[in-house]
Structure 1
Amino acid sequence: MSVPSRGSPRSRAEHVRSRLFGLLVHHIAFDGRSESVLARDLSDAYAGREPRPAPPTLAERARLTTAVTPLTDRAERAERAREEFRDVPPIRWPERPGPGETGVGHLDVSVPADLTAGLDATGRALGASRFVVLLSAWADVLAEVCGQRDFAVGVPVAERTVPELERTVGCLIDMMPVRLRGDAVNGGESGVRETGAVVHRAFTRSDVPFTAVAQGAGTTSGRPPVFQCLFALQDNPPPRLDLPGVTAAHLRQPYAALPVELHLEVWPDENGALDVVLSFRRAAVTGTTALNLLKGYHDRLALIAAGAAK
């Protein structure tokens, strides 16, 4: 609202009406890509545009996502994956939270566009994707802060493997564990190269469900077996509401609960910057540890980008 200045007969108050639309969905029926699909469908309906072709039914989705790998070969690769992750040591956080700590904490930091460009330049020079560069830096800082050089992280992998699934609202992801050790946690060029090799091997078994990999990995308390930390590059299309005569902005809400102890997400924006959000269970990870991890991560990314500028 603009307030008129006194004594000005021509001034007036202008009221700007705003509306807040909230949507709460369970992750079992909704993933990150679904945000943009839903926003597009709502925009079409609001503007009176012809609806797009209907998405696949549940039965059709099951058929489209069924892997064509022979069952015998898939079973053998699942057993090899189980063997790889059977002895992953748990991450031992450097500090123990005080008694009674509950809830989820959130920290974030912004990586400007020029720094992001340096990260991408490093990736191109080393034949690595942005995802690999970002994961390599995270492995480096986790190893340093936790004093541990062998651990696993979980990576959400989209199962929208065919064009028909691009217009579907649902949870079409699986978790892919990635074990990081040796050169993969050393940082620098060797760290990026080894992380790239580890990620490539992990994706060769992407059709092996996480439930199959986790069999025999032992029991855990309040989190999935194998990993305690999730790492996600959320490079989904942004959810845009295209409403005639209306300016809309998306407000992303923090997680009220986490399935793991630590969750790092990197959100690219439309101007080339990265929003890095670290969420953590206060009962497992202290705020000091989380802050050291996020600060260390930002410093690692800055060093990588600076190296590309030389």
Structure 2
Amino acid sequence: EQFAPGTAAYNIPVARRLRGPLDRPALQRALDAVIARHETLRSRYPATDDGRPVLEIAAPAPFVLRTADADDEEHAARLVDELGALPFDLVTGPLINGLLVRIGAEDHVLLLVVHHSVSDGWSSEVLVSEVLRGYAAHARDEPDPLTELPVQYGDFALWQRERLTGGRLRDEVAYWGRELAGVRPLELPTTRPRPEHQTFDGAGYGFDVDRDLLDRLTALGKEHGATVHMVLLAAFQLVLSRFSGQRDFAVGSPVAGRPEPELEGLIGMFVNVLALRARLDGDPAFTELLARTRETCLEAYAHQELPFAQLVSELNVERDVSRSPVFQAVLAVQNYASAAPDAELPLHVEP
């Protein structure tokens, strides 16, 4: 955020269409309970005089849920996009925003946006699940169904810091230092010059992989002792190499970062990103590239505890404000389950 202030690139929006009679007080109580339950959702980062951030956690308080009326679905989509693109102020907080859009008497869209410093994709599903479970209970005038959390994110952060010291830290840093020595930025051909500062302006392109192709990719992976992720990564590296003309670069790949069961129900920034080096020297056949990619992944998984931000610091990676450090392309395979609504929820919930 300090390198690129005022950006919405680290916003994580999650929206649900709510069809049916909506109990607004029940929804408010559910939101208040979830935010009181998770310290991360009450966090902010004021800075000291020398610019170092300090964590502060606010006391539980009623959540301010914005409301708006939409003329139709397109208008609702624009309202959702506008809040989803609103930058957070990490100094003052809060780091969660919410919007309830009314399309009709029994047709609403609930949008929750959380800053990536206190959340990740898995956490978004935890958030939605807990809000819907709470809503279902409060709509039936039942007690809050969520029990007290056994640990908070701060407990995990302290455990992680204590664990990554001494010899373990030296081993992790030494591995990544060897693995990433001399890796060059990925230089894809573009029609325009790269801006001096990374802007995060861009567009999305969506497409589907049909079941037959996915089954064939899965079978190919099994034949060579590899996962679908490894097969996709090898193919992605090959495509990037053909466009860039490079045979040595890194691709980022997220891992969940929740090694203990107690962490699965927490909202927080657990995800870590591994820098997986492409090895296309010698013009390998695809099966050989897959074998190399598999080996690279397995070794990286065995050294996944060092947070990427700490890796950049420990290796003293030169920062370039025009691009992200170490890798400039990411392959993310999201394999966590989407939040399933309560079977007795008096609403029909759609993504």
Q: TM-score, normalised by structure 2?
A: 0.61
Match of 1:74 among 160, 169, 184: 169
Structure 1 residues 66 and 141: CA distance shift in structure 2, 3 A? same
- The secondary structure found in structure 2 opposite 1:108 is coil
Match of 2:237 among 139, 157, 180: 139
Mapped pair 1:26 → 2:115: yes
Deviations 1:142-168 (Å, cap 9, x if unpaired)?
Answer: 111211111001112221111100100
Deviations 1:156-183 (Å, cap 9, x if unpaired)?
Answer: 2221111100100111112211111236
What is residue 227 of structure 1 aligned with on the other side?
A: 327
Distance 1:229 1:46 in 2: 39
Mapped pair 1:115 → 2:115: no
Structure 1 residues 211 and 46: CA distance shift in structure 2, 3 A? closer
Amino acid at match of 1:218: E
Structure 1 residues 223 and 55: CA distance shift in structure 2, 3 A? farther
How do 1:1-310 and structure 2 match up within 5 A? 17-48=106-137, 50-65=145-160, 68=163, 71-97=166-192, 103-182=201-280, 186=284, 188-214=286-312, 215-242=315-342, 244-250=345-351
8 Å CA contact retained: 2:164, 2:306: no
Structure 1 residues 240 and 219: CA distance shift in structure 2, 3 A? same
- The secondary structure found in structure 1 opposite 2:239 is helix
Amino acid at match of 2:206: D
Distance 2:115 2:205 in 1: 23
Segment of structure 1 superposing worse, 213-222 or 106-115: 213-222
Deviations 1:74-109 (Å, cap 9, x if unpaired)?
Answer: 313313412432311121212332698972211111
- The secondary structure found in structure 1 opposite 2:347 is coil
**Which structure would you say has the larger RCO, counting Cα contacts within 8 Å and 6 or more residues apart?**
1
Distance 1:197 1:221 in 2: 32
8 Å CA contact retained: 1:140, 1:186: no
Structure 2 segments unaligned to the other structure (5+ residues): 1-103, 138-143
Distance 1:202 1:188 in 2: 21
Distance 1:77 1:50 in 2: 41
- The secondary structure found in structure 1 opposite 2:208 is strand
Deviations 1:203-253 (Å, cap 9, x if unpaired)?
Answer: 221122323432233221243321111211111111333362321111xxx
What is residue 291 of structure 1 aligned with on the other side?
A: none
Distance 1:200 1:121 in 2: 19
1:187: Cα distance to partner? 5.5
Amino acid at match of 2:203: G
8 Å CA contact retained: 2:218, 2:227: yes
Structure 1 residues 128 and 175: CA distance shift in structure 2, 3 A? same
- The secondary structure found in structure 2 opposite 1:22 is strand
Structure 1 residues 175 and 99: CA distance shift in structure 2, 3 A? closer
Q: How large is the Cα RMSD of the aligned pairs?
A: 2.6
Deviations 1:105-153 (Å, cap 9, x if unpaired)?
Answer: 1111100122211111111111101111111110111111211111001
